[in-house]
């Protein structure tokens, strides 16, 4: 895999002087076309130590308009980043549509290092790379152009390079003991890197190995490949084909489904409710002050039809929490900034630190509910969303976050009653809109989409809790009890 990058590729200065000006002009043109074409470009610059990674990144910044490039040199993760899932720092930095994001250091850096140092096993590396491949596949489905450059130096060239950097007082600072340590591990690194590259070279996002012996050859090669891939995509955009009409979700054969199977007659009288509410809120408050609470982040998801009681359920939780510990994230139509990113981006960026509670009032499940039913995304998009969501939640859970998902269920009749109440109660009128009435007419389609969602995303790692909310008291207590029980189990 690296043989072609050990041939001593080099070009003369006159070739460089002749080739660079037209390349720069063409890259600038492509960059402006990109701003209009509205897809993001993700460039990874990875490779062995001393292979001129940051110099190459600097060159690209010099050659192009840096206002449309976001460059990220990634060192050790920060405290903020360590408390989130591994991919959080990268999600934060994804370029929006129309821009180029260059990562000097990437999601590959740590798994390769960890494996080379023997701190993780080969099977762990394979699992990490499988996740990375799925992440990149998602980026591509969301429209991104992904370019992955691996800067390579043969073993003898790398040794020479380190020695000459060390000898020159002007550059000796760039050679650290860590660089020499890594050099001693050259063969191990090479083997691990090859395994990682092999597992993640796909048709859409192949690794491009570039020899770094001669900086001119290296930079010009990177520039030319970048131009070629950019132009190919700009000049031949994916054809706009009207997708086949998405069928409304079909009900089950016998009309039975997991929502209809719920016993909505469950009730709790006011006195019992008020008593238990206080007890549970007290327990919850104590639990959030438990010394182990700071070891976990808590993610609460609330979904349900309009007027199912999501807001009320959330308030009964937050009443028991220190305001510094929680954030409520209401999920409405995405903003312009959010629309320029993969649909999961706005949820990723709100993931809590350890010791914090993030409450999502509606969530990433919008893609397989409202977006599916209303045709806001294509069938292919919502079909792939189930596994993307499972991947996302898997990362959240593996980061020792406690993820609880509540589906609040009411009958169609109860919804009507609550709608009417909202319309006639002055201080509740803001809660009801024309859209709520329109959605209500699509009840069967929403119900079927919800059942599909529950089937595909109620997993062992992140099960749904179905909450019978016909009676508000019963529903709220069930939510609180579930949360308290879970915290007691985990802390």
Q: State the Cα torsion 89-95-100-103 to the nearest 10°.
A: 0
236 lies in the site for its own copies, by CB under 8 A = yes
292 lies in the site for its own copies, by CB under 8 A = no
451 lies in the site for its own copies, by CB under 8 A = yes
Of 39, 117, 186, 386, which lies in the binding site for its own copies, with binding defined by CB under 8 A? 386
- Cα separation, 249 vs 228, in Å, equals 43
Helices 443-457 and 379-398: crossing angle in degrees, nearest 10, is 40
- By CB under 8 A, which span of 92-100, 124-132, 269-277, 345-353 interacts with its own copies? 124-132
Give me the residues paired with residue 402 across strands.
298
279 lies in the site for its own copies, by CB under 8 A = no
Are the beta carbons of 41 and 182 closer than 8 angstroms?
Answer: no
156 lies in the site for its own copies, by CB under 8 A = no
- Compute the least distance from the CB of residue 234 to its own copies, in Å: 11
- How many residues touch its own copies under the rule CB under 8 A: the total is 59
Which residue's CB is nearer to its own copies, number 150 or number 345?
150
Q: State the Cα torsion 385-231-102-162 to the nearest 10°.
A: 130
Of 25, 65, 80, 204, which lies in the binding site for its own copies, with binding defined by CB under 8 A? 204
252 lies in the site for its own copies, by CB under 8 A = yes
Give me the residues paired with residue 467 across strands.
408
Of 31, 106, 221, 399, which lies in the binding site for its own copies, with binding defined by CB under 8 A? 221
SS3 of 471, please? coil
126 lies in the site for its own copies, by CB under 8 A = yes
DSSP string across 107-171: TTHHHHHHHHTTSS-HHHHHHHHHHHHHHHHHHHHTT-EEEEEEEE--HHHHHHHHHHHHHSTTT
Of 72, 82, 160, 224, which lies in the binding site for its own copies, with binding defined by CB under 8 A? 224
333 lies in the site for its own copies, by CB under 8 A = no
What end-to-end distance do the CA atoms of the chain give, in Å? 48
Q: 103: buried, middle or exposed (CB in 10 Å: 19+, 13-18, 0-12)?
A: buried
329 lies in the site for its own copies, by CB under 8 A = no
Helices in 344-471 by DSSP H: which ranges?
Answer: 345-348, 370-373, 379-398, 412-424, 434-441, 443-457
Q: Segment 364-383, which members bind its own copies (CB under 8 A)?
A: 380, 383
Q: Looking only at Cα atoms, what is the longest distance across the chain?
A: 88
Of 37, 212, 359, 385, which lies in the binding site for its own copies, with binding defined by CB under 8 A? 385
Kindly write out the interface string for residues 164-203 of this chain, putting x where it contacts its own copies by CB under 8 A and - elsewhere: ---------------------------x--xx--x--xxx
Residues making contact with its own copies (CB under 8 A)? 1, 3-4, 7-11, 15, 121, 123-124, 126-127, 130, 191, 194-195, 198, 201-204, 206, 209, 217, 220-221, 224, 228, 232, 235-236, 239, 241, 244, 247, 250, 252-254, 256-258, 261, 380, 383-387, 390, 451, 454-456, 458-460
């Amino acid at each position: 895999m690296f043989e072609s990058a050990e041939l001593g590729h080099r070009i003369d200065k006159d070739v460089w002087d002749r080739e660079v000006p037209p390349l720069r002009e063409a890259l600038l043109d492509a960059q402006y076309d990109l701003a209009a074409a509205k897809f993001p470009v993700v460039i990874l610059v990875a490779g062995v130590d001393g292979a001129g990674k940051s110099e190459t990144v600097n060159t690209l910044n010099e050659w192009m308009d840096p206002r449309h490039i976001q460059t990220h040199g990634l060192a050790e993760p920060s405290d903020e980043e360590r408390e989130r899932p591994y991919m959080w720092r990268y999600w934060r930095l994804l370029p929006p549509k129309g821009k180029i994001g260059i990562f000097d250091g990437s999601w590959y850096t740590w798994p390769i290092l960890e494996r080379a140092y023997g701190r993780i096993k080969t099977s762990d590396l394979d699992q990490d790379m499988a996740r990375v491949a799925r992440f990149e596949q998602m980026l591509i489905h969301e429209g991104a152009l992904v370019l992955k450059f691996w800067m390579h130096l043969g073993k003898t060239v790398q040794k020479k390079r380190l020695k000459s950097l060390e000898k020159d007082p002007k550059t000796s600072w760039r050679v650290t003991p860590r660089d020499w340590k890594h050099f001693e591990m050259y063969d191990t690194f090479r083997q691990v890197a090859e395994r990682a590259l092999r597992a993640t070279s796909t048709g859409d996002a192949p690794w491009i190995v570039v020899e770094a012996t001669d900086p001119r050859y290296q930079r010009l090669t990177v520039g030319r490949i970048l131009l070629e891939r950019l132009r190919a995509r700009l000049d031949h955009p994916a054809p706009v084909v009207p997708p086949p009409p998405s069928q409304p979700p079909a009900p089950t054969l016998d009309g039975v489904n997991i929502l209809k199977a719920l016993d909505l007659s469950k009730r709790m009288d006011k006195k019992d409710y008020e008593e238990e509410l206080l007890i549970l809120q007290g327990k919850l408050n104590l639990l959030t002050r438990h010394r182990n609470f700071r070891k976990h982040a808590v993610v609460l998801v609330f979904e349900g039809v309009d007027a199912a009681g999501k807001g009320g359920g959330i308030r009964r939780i937050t009443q028991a929490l220190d305001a510094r510990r929680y954030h409520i994230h209401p999920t409405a139509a995405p903003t312009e900034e959010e629309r320029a990113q993969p649909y999961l981006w706005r949820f990723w960026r709100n993931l809590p630190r350890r010791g914090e509670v993030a409450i999502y009032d509606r969530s990433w499940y919008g893609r397989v509910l409202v977006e599916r039913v209303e045709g806001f995304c294509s069938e292919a998009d919502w079909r792939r969303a189930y596994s993307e969501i499972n991947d996302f939640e898997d990362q959240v859970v593996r980061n020792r976050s406690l993820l609880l998902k509540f589906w609040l269920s009411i009958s169609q009749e109860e919804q009507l009653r609550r709608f009417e109440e909202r319309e006639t109660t002055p201080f509740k009128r803001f809660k009801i809109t024309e859209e709520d009435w329109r959605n209500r007419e699509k009840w069967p389609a929403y119900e079927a989409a919800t059942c599909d969602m529950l089937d595909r995303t109620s997993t062992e790692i992140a099960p749904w809790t179905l909450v019978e909310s016909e009676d508000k008291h019963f529903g709220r207590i069930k939510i609180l009890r579930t949360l308290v029980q879970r915290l007691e189990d985990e802390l």
